[in-house]
Amino acid sequence: MADNQQKLASFNTVSLEFYIGKWGAIVPMLFFVIWAIFMSLGLNGASETTRYLILGSIIGLVLGLFLTKSSWTGYCDSIFVGMSQSVGVVAIVCWLWAGMFAEVLKAGHLVEGLVWLGEFVGVSSSLFVMVTFIAAATFASAVGTGYGTVIAFCTIMFPAGLVLGADPILMLGAILSGAAFGDNLAPVSDTTIVSAVTQETDVPGVVKSRFKYALAAGIPAALLFFIFGQFMKSPGIEVPLQAPGPAGLVLLIPFALVIILALQGFHIIVSITWGIILASAMIVIFKLGTFADIFTLDVTNTQLAGGALMRGIVGYLDMAVLILLIVAAGYIMQAGGALDAIKNWILARVKKSVARAEVSMCSLVAILNVFITVNTAAEIAAAPFIKEVGKSFKLHPYRRANFLDAITSAFGYIFPWSGGVLIGIKTLQENFGNVLSIAHTEVWPYVFHGWLLVMVMYIAALTGFGRRYEGKDGAETIEPPVEN
């Protein structure tokens, strides 16, 4: 586990030079961000959005190629090195497993079961939106993958919410908020591990220390989803579902199994694999479907394989390509010295104020998340600055790790071009593209937990709420230790 954590935290770079200085390294990512915004506005949620984004990321990398003073071979090698970073690979693997699991549960009519339960109990659409946020936060906190949570809940809870009258944009905001909550709090989340490892401290202590921040944002977020749900309703979208019935609710058992295994410390792949196996068996045993609904192989057809497992994989191949290209553009920023230039500019304005230092930590992580759309990669890039500034003010490693992780987890699910939003929109396009169109630019105001978590951390920096210093033998102290 320690070796994997060290690999995850490693973001070693080569050195690149550009004709317009260090800021030339930003061009590939900056072009992609601008391209993503215009494509999101122009395509308005079209099913081919991801492929247009892939083209934009490639054009951005080509622009960087013509701006580099270094050898073209060195620049191209840097693209390959960037694409091989573990942060992208980890995200892709989580997507594939989560996609298969969600499609298997859908094939067993869990969605219809949830709709039946909601109608039977009389759950209002506003209450269902709030429950979706809480359930997504719980699932993400257990399994440790925010992106996987987005896939699963956009496949299972989202259509149930529409049938019950919930607004689609608000539902997506609730799912993204729950994913951000879990990404920030989960002990096995890659962002949690990176924040602890890079600040040279332990994961359990970090998780315990950030409960107050997570709940300070999470509780009002839940209330906001309920309140907004009173006014925002579904515009009468016809969701392609069978008649609601209770039979599919039995698949809540494998869903719960995944959470239990994850909480016991099993790897996310192990946890979800057992969930897939149990769900598949229960579908056949309880006659919720046939084995062909899960997997089918037809050697006489041009489409050799089908079923839920294949749908769960094929739906995210485009996103896998896109995420690797985005990580490569982030690596170019690091290799070209742009990240160091941003860090130095902010560091020069910190001076001797601890509050200003903590605000600078929040601001740097926020800036990097604007450009580096995979949140773990942005976190890794910001980690050395957080460590350097935090240590100079003797801030406790838990405090440093919390500033690093909270802002990263929040913005990773807010910006229209961020990884969490991209994967959410992609999942909805795959499942509801014929009846529903949501643009990337529509959901960002409704990721309530993300925005509130950012606010909580800035308030903590300005007021000193939760501030702790590193005392003797690493102990937490309220007052800064006196130098001998």
Percent of the chain with pLDDT over 70: 91
Confidence of residue 43 (pLDDT cuts 50, 70, 90): low
φ/ψ of 477, rounded to 5, equals -130, 150
* Torsion from C-alpha of 258, 131, 410, 423, nearest 10 degrees: 60
Q: Which range is least confidently modeled, 11-15, 313-317, 410-414, 421-425?
A: 11-15
Q: Residue 399: what pLDDT?
A: 94
Q: Which amino acid is at 175?
A: I
pLDDT of residue 2: 41
CA distance 169 to 436: 11
Confidence of residue 9 (pLDDT cuts 50, 70, 90): very low
Is residue 60 a contact partner of residue 32, using CB atoms and an 8 Å limit?
A: yes
Write the pLDDT tens digit of every residue in 353-410: 889 889 988 988 898 888 777 777 788 778 878 888 888 888 999 999 999 999 999 9
Neighbours of 24 (CB within 10 A): 22
Place of tokens 């989803």: 225
Q: Is 394 left (phi over 0), alpha (psi -120 to 50) or beta?
A: left
What's the mean pLDDT when you consider all of the chain?
Answer: 84
Domain ranges in the chain are: 22-477
User: Is the model's pLDDT at 26 over the cut of 50?
Assistant: yes
The reported pLDDT for the residue numbered 305 is 62
Contacts of 197 (CB under 8 A, 6+ apart): 5, 6, 8, 9
Please write the tens of the pLDDT for every residue from 201-251: 888 888 899 999 999 999 999 999 999 999 888 776 677 677 778 999 999
The per-residue pLDDT for 62 is: 95
What is the mean predicted confidence (pLDDT) over 455-476? Answer: 89
Q: What is the pLDDT of residue 95?
A: 73
Q: What is the model's pLDDT at position 10?
A: 42
CA distance linking residue 333 with residue 226, whole number of Å: 41
Q: Can you tell me the mean pLDDT for 422-429?
A: 86
> What's the predicted TM-score (pTM) here?
0.81
Query: What confidence score (pLDDT) does residue 304 get?
Result: 60
- So what's the pLDDT on residue 210? 92
Residue-level pLDDT at 63: 95
Give the pLDDT confidence of 298-327 residue by residue, as tens digits: 656 655 667 888 888 876 788 788 888 888
In this predicted structure, which of 322-336, 338-352, 457-471 has the lowest mean pLDDT? 338-352
Answer whether residue 352 shows pLDDT above 90.
no
| pLDDT digit string, tens, across residues 140-182 | 888 777 888 898 899 889 988 988 889 999 999 999 999 999 9
Q: What's residue 8's pLDDT?
A: 40
Whether 4 has a pLDDT exceeding 50, the answer reads: no
**Residue 45 clears pLDDT 60, i.e. is over it:** no
